[in-house]
Structure 1
Amino acid sequence: MTARAFLIAATATALCLPAPAPLRADAGDVVKLGAAAGILFCMANPQRCGMGGQSQQPTPRPTPGPTPRPPVQADPTVRTDQQALNYFDYGAGSADGVMGRKTRQAISRYQTYMGYPVTGQLAPYQRQTLVGAYNWAQAGHGAAYPGIYGQELLRAYQTETRGGDYCRETGRCPVQAASTGQTTQPRLPDMPTTSASMANACASSQMVTNASGPVLTPAGITGPDRARQAMDEQFCSASSYALSRSENLLDGSGMTDQALSENCSWVVDRMADQIGQLGSSSAVELTEAADRRIRDIGADMRQISDVAKVCLGYAYRTDDAQVALASALMLVGTGARPYAELVGHHLRGGYGTARNPDQAQGWYDIAFDALDRGADPAVRPSQSGERVAVMRAALRTGGLAGGGNATSSTGTGMPNFNLRQN
């Protein structure tokens, strides 16, 4: 074989070899053969390899353009979410079925108003309320609430689903008296006029946080305003955490809001005496009274605790301050002293009881002392130390200024929520 023929054959062999997998030790000879053949080919054909002065430049290949992206497919669920968000004035933009920045921002605004964890993504129960209210309003049921529009219709819908009457409970719906033609503002006689809306308070708190930044450390508390902001943020964080824990416990139980409302009245009935004494008895006295009340119920402590946790989160979701306060007191009575923090928040803000900052301090002290002794945190366990440090600093700096299936009182009559044990 001539030298030229050998070079051609060697080169062809090298070019035809398959691309090796990750190299093995015994592949070295093959690699060397290919490299040597290529070098020999270029030495014999300098013009072909660009080594000669008169080499011919290869024709450049056209650079391929970017591969066009396939069009984003519209999601019918997202489109319905957008339609509902727009109906309640959250500004999700065009209902195109595509999740974008405006839709996520609209969801965040909805979550803020409802007191949900603000994530920009709808959890199943959040979507159920949003879309359920939208379908309810589209069917004309909003006409029963004259003067109530936009976001407030969500409150009316929630109240109706739990068997309440939004107009009577809030006095927000002007009603034409049949005999006089005058506009009246009816209110339930037993509705506590001192009770503030927790959802509205957290919506306002979120706006302050967005404007000035959150208070994450004691160093961020530079005066009374920041101290009050810090306490508001911690209350809203605690209520959001309670809501999420409640939803986890209820997962798979099939409980409706109507059934929850009826059953959670059991919690309010059990703790009514303690709620009535919040303004006149010390935190220590009422804690001991709550202990005795829970012992009198005579039921399994785990079941009492789970029922109270479910009702606590449900109450924050539906803005029912009295149920939330009763649930927190019941949990304190089961021995879970860190829940006293929530009682303090309610007294500080006037949620479900008269506002009483002086009494609130004693409940915070009970919660903090329990945590110092190693009790399980009631709120965000991984952040408990930081939260307590912020609240203690805030309280030192002026943060106290704020912002049924009932049975006899001695029987248990406890609702069975079919809770998932976890």
Structure 2
Amino acid sequence: MKARGFLIAATAVALTMPGPVRADTGDVVKLGIAAGAFFCMANPGRCGLGGNRNAQPSAAPQRTASPPPRQQPRAADPAIRTDQQALNYFGYEAGSADGIMGRRTRDAISRYQGYMGYPSTGRLDAYQRQTLVGAYNWAQAGGGSAYPGIYGEELLRAYASQMRGGNYCQETGRCPVRNSDTGQTPIPDLPQANASMANACTSSQMVTNANGPVLSPADITDPDRARQALNEQFCSASSYASSRSENLLAGSGTTDATLARNCRWVVERMEDQIVRLDSQSAVEVAAAADRRVREIGGDPRQISDAATICLGYGYRTDDPQMALASALMLVGSGARPYAELIGHHLRSGFGTQRDPARAQGWYDIAFDALDRGSEPAVRPSQSGERVAIMRTALGGQGPAGSGPETSSSGAGVPSFNLQ
């Protein structure tokens, strides 16, 4: 075999050799050339170098592959972030509002387009974006209060009708009619099966505007008002969690992209506990959350801060699993009053299967912890009134079951640069 032929063969063998680590093409070529040169020096006769042992193999040209250009992370687009917030608000789950166009956002756009009768392209044109964002801003400003009982994507049609000068209630007969005996608008249960929390709270606000808020246990006169009271308390709790998250992050310089990445860490750590919610009691899952947080290890304050931030971020971005995972992590860290939020999620099916019976056990854990003097998780100055309203709405006090009060820690907990 001539030297050139051997070098080519050796290089080909090197290129096809299996191995656990894949090297750059340039490195593999150099390895093949070096192997061929070494063979020729040891076997000059077989490489066409004759019997002259002093002959040196001619140097073969080496070509080094250029390293691929490093990809820069895509910058967040404020317009896409607004689109994502609007899509999430109306129930088209686009994921975290990070300003990056991805498959989940395109799928959400396609569903929005299909509902509105537009071509499902996965990309918004100027008119479609104007309708989507206009409806979002209108609903955020309370414009949907004229359409009690209409929420979610149906608000888009109500908005479109209003922009044409129409009245969606009159056109469709879809808006609930007040009860002639009570003068109240019927109260629907919050939607279930991972529906939009933002939509549910928009609907709740409409009902509150129509019937007046539940301000004390005496205002709960029937099952409709009981459901309204619990809906109001969930929305109040999620709003408070969002505000507290924003306060903790103030001045940290944390971007939405970092928030999304760090808070995904919380979801991944508590996935097993979320799954347990469908089959185990509140006391059993709370104990499992305790063990999980202890397994993580680390600084207790850091894990508590991370879970508190991600709880609010989950509500702000309408991500029910993120909010649920964060509440479970807080409960596992010893902050038992956060069990109230898990009760709300189970009662309404946010991030888990709807199960009002199992929800009761989580409310009981929260109430028992508050009775024992634990720091309230929601609106501390109003905690007593809130608990009295919820206990009445739930039908009185159930059996307490708090589980062990443990304070756990969290190694590897993402940092938010808090001061």
Contact 1:299 1:412 in 2 (8 A): yes
Q: Distance in 2 between matches of 1:394 and 1:374?
A: 22
Which residue number corresponds to residue 394 of structure 2?
395
Instruction: Give secondary structure in 2 for the equivalent of 1:195.
Output: coil
Task: Encode CA deviations 1:272-317: one digit per residue, 9 max, x unaligned.
Answer: 0000110100000011101011111111111100000000001100
Which residue number corresponds to residue 298 of structure 1?
297
Provide closer, same or farther for how the CA distance between residues 157 and 292 of structure 1 changes in structure 2, counting only shifts above 3 A: closer
Task: Encode CA deviations 1:172-229: one digit per residue, 9 max, x unaligned.
Answer: 2458xxxxxx9699xxxxxxx9211100000000000001000010000000000000
Kindly state the Cα deviation for residue 257 of structure 1 after the two structures are TM-superposed: 1.1
Give the counterpart letter for 1:266 in structure 2. W
Residue 168 in structure 1 maps to residue 111 in structure 2: no
* Structure 1 residue ranges without an equivalent (≥5): 1-131, 176-181, 186-192, 398-409
Q: Distance in 1 between matches of 2:336 and 2:263?
A: 21
Q: Distance in 1 between matches of 2:277 and 2:356?
A: 11
Provide closer, same or farther for how the CA distance between residues 169 and 272 of structure 1 changes in structure 2, counting only shifts above 3 A: farther
Kindly state the Cα deviation for residue 256 of structure 1 after the two structures are TM-superposed: 1.1
After superposition, where does 1:16-415 map in structure 2 within 5 Å? 136=79, 159-161=97-99, 165-168=104-107, 172-174=111-113, 194-396=193-395, 412-415=411-414
Instruction: Give secondary structure in 2 for the equivalent of 1:159.
Output: coil
Q: Distance in 2 between matches of 1:344 and 1:167?
A: 33
Q: Distance in 2 between matches of 1:268 and 1:306?
A: 15
Q: Distance in 2 between matches of 1:149 and 1:386?
A: 35
In the superposition, the TM-score normalised over structure 2's length comes to 0.56
Provide closer, same or farther for how the CA distance between residues 157 and 325 of structure 1 changes in structure 2, counting only shifts above 3 A: closer
Provide closer, same or farther for how the CA distance between residues 271 and 155 of structure 1 changes in structure 2, counting only shifts above 3 A: closer
Task: Encode CA deviations 1:46-99: one digit per residue, 9 max, x unaligned.
Answer: xxxxxxxxxxxxxxxxxxxxxxxxxxxxxxxxxxxxxxxxxxxxxxxxxxxxxx
Provide closer, same or farther for how the CA distance between residues 151 and 195 of structure 1 changes in structure 2, counting only shifts above 3 A: closer
Instruction: Give secondary structure in 2 for the equivalent of 1:229.
Output: helix
Give the counterpart letter for 2:370 in structure 1. L
Q: Distance in 1 between matches of 2:208 and 2:274?
A: 31
Contact 2:310 2:323 in 1 (8 A): yes
- Equivalent pairs, count: 258
Q: Distance in 1 between matches of 2:373 and 2:198?
A: 31
Contact 2:346 2:354 in 1 (8 A): yes
Contact 1:162 1:258 in 2 (8 A): no
Contact 1:160 1:166 in 2 (8 A): no
Q: Distance in 2 between matches of 1:153 and 1:355?
A: 17
* Structure 2 residue ranges without an equivalent (≥5): 1-75, 123-191, 397-408
Contact 1:198 1:351 in 2 (8 A): yes
Q: Distance in 2 between matches of 1:170 and 1:299?
A: 41
Provide closer, same or farther for how the CA distance between residues 411 and 253 of structure 1 changes in structure 2, counting only shifts above 3 A: closer
After superposition, where does 1:2-13 map in structure 2 within 5 Å? none
Task: Encode CA deviations 1:99-131: one digit per residue, 9 max, x unaligned.
Answer: xxxxxxxxxxxxxxxxxxxxxxxxxxxxxxxxx
Instruction: Give secondary structure in 2 for the equivalent of 1:201.
Output: helix
Contact 1:308 1:328 in 2 (8 A): yes
Q: Distance in 2 between matches of 1:231 and 1:149?
A: 26
Percent identity of paired positions between Structure 1 and Structure 2: 64
Kindly state the Cα deviation for residue 160 of structure 1 after the two structures are TM-superposed: 4.6
Bigger Cα Rg = 1
Q: Distance in 1 between matches of 2:339 and 2:239?
A: 16
Give the counterpart letter for 1:136 in structure 2. A
Kindly state the Cα deviation for residue 162 of structure 1 after the two structures are TM-superposed: 6.5
Kindly state the Cα deviation for residue 158 of structure 1 after the two structures are TM-superposed: 6.0
Provide closer, same or farther for how the CA distance between residues 150 and 341 of structure 1 changes in structure 2, counting only shifts above 3 A: closer
Give the counterpart letter for 1:380 in structure 2. R
Q: Distance in 2 between matches of 1:294 and 1:157?
A: 26
Give the counterpart letter for 2:79 in structure 1. W
Contact 1:287 1:333 in 2 (8 A): yes
Provide closer, same or farther for how the CA distance between residues 355 and 184 of structure 1 changes in structure 2, counting only shifts above 3 A: farther
Q: Distance in 2 between matches of 1:271 and 1:342?
A: 15
Which residue number corresponds to residue 31 of structure 2?
none
Which residue number corresponds to residue 33 of structure 1?
none
Instruction: Give secondary structure in 2 for the equivalent of 1:306.
Output: helix
Kindly state the Cα deviation for residue 170 of structure 1 after the two structures are TM-superposed: 7.9
